[in-house]
């Protein structure tokens, strides 16, 4: 009986402690008018608990969703707002704004024929709009980016192409499209890549200039080690994920170039259980860039 009473007390204490966390605000399916894309683009934003009662400026983390999801995924399935609430309350991370744009199936890049210029939209329109509309410290030191799967690809593309804009990046289960994987892909399997990189070609002809301009291996080789001295990089992929091989290849490639990064391979697969469990560590990794040591 005593054991049952103790158990009930611990559950009640845990629920009470959880309820005491100050809650941030989530605003879903807001829109921005994009001249580059010629349409409205939805986005969801998380504002920390004291946003409405203070006049302070906040760091920002851009969260990129995966294929088949939308701007609400990180909050709905990833519980990013709840994770941030708890981490802020326990001082694991500084108060920060989280924002997720709807990336559709763009992989967050300009496609091969520039008929969809998502990267231009993100860099030239979306980030400036968000950082003007909300009280954000609009500078590299207070800007991070993270994403899963397709969003992990976008995260690496943006952070590695524009290391002057981001202090840290975390790529969960990133769809990396290594040269090895691209060369092993047959015509039937080219479907996901065709809108990005163009029609199927034989041999290394498929490794086009456009592919190389949107490929973590070629980008880092081109820019060199020194370009990333002020960028913190984390790769996190489950050991049962179908993208494990490419994530390992990128880890080895970065090591060969001498580019500092964190590489995590935990027990797990390509699912929200894995990404939810990784987000607290990912936000802490990025949040450390916002601190002064």
pLDDT along the chain (293 residues), means of 10: 52 50 91 98 97 96 97 97 96 97 98 97 98 97 98 98 98 97 93 93 93 97 97 98 98 98 98 98 97 74
Burial of 184 (0-12, 13-18, 19+ CB in 10 A): exposed
Tell me the C-alpha distance between 87 and 96, whole Å.
10
Closest CA to 119 of 58, 210, 233: 210
CB atoms within 10 A of CB 233: 25
Tell me the C-alpha distance between 254 and 176, whole Å.
13
Q: Which domains does the chain have, with CATH numbers?
A: 22-290 (3.40.50.1820)
At 237 the pLDDT is 98
At 292 the pLDDT is 73
pTM confidence score: 0.92
At 3 the pLDDT is 56
At 22 the pLDDT is 79
Closest CA to 145 of 106, 108, 196, 112: 108
């Amino acid at each position: 009986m005593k054991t049952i009473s103790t158990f009930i007390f611990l559950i009640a204490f845990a629920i009470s402690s959880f309820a005491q966390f100050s809650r941030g605000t989530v605003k879903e399916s807001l829109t921005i008018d994009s001249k580059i894309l010629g349409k409205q683009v939805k986005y969801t934003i998380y504002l920390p608990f004291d946003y409405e009662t203070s006049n302070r400026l906040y760091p920002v983390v851009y969260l990129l969703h995966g294929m088949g999801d939308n701007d609400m995924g990180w909050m709905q399935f990833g519980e990013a707002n709840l994770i941030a609430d708890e981490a802020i309350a326990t001082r694991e991370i500084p108060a920060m704004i989280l924002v997720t744009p709807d990336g559709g199936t763009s992989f967050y890049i300009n496609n091969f024929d520039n008929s969809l210029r998502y990267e231009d939209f993100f860099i030239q329109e979306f980030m400036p709009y968000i950082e003007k509309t909300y009280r954000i410290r609009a500078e590299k030191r207070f800007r991070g980016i993270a994403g899963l799967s397709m969003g992990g690809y976008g995260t690496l593309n943006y952070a590695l192409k524009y290391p002057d804009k981001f202090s840290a990046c975390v790529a969960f289960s990133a769809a990396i499209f290594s040269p090895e994987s691209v060369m092993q892909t047959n015509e039937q399997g080219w479907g996901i890549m065709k809108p990005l990189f163009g029609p199927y070609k034989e041999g290394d002809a498929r490794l086009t200039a456009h592919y190389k301009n949107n490929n973590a291996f070629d980008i880092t080789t081109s820019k060199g080690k020194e370009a990333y001295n002020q960028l913190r990089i984390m790769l996190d992929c489950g050991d049962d994920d179908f993208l494990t091989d490419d994530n390992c290849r990128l880890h080895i490639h970065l090591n060969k170039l001498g580019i500092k990064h964190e590489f995590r391979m935990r027990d797990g697969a390509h699912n929200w259980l894995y990404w939810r469990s990784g987000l607290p560590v990912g936000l802490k990794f990025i949040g450390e860039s916002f601190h002064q040591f």
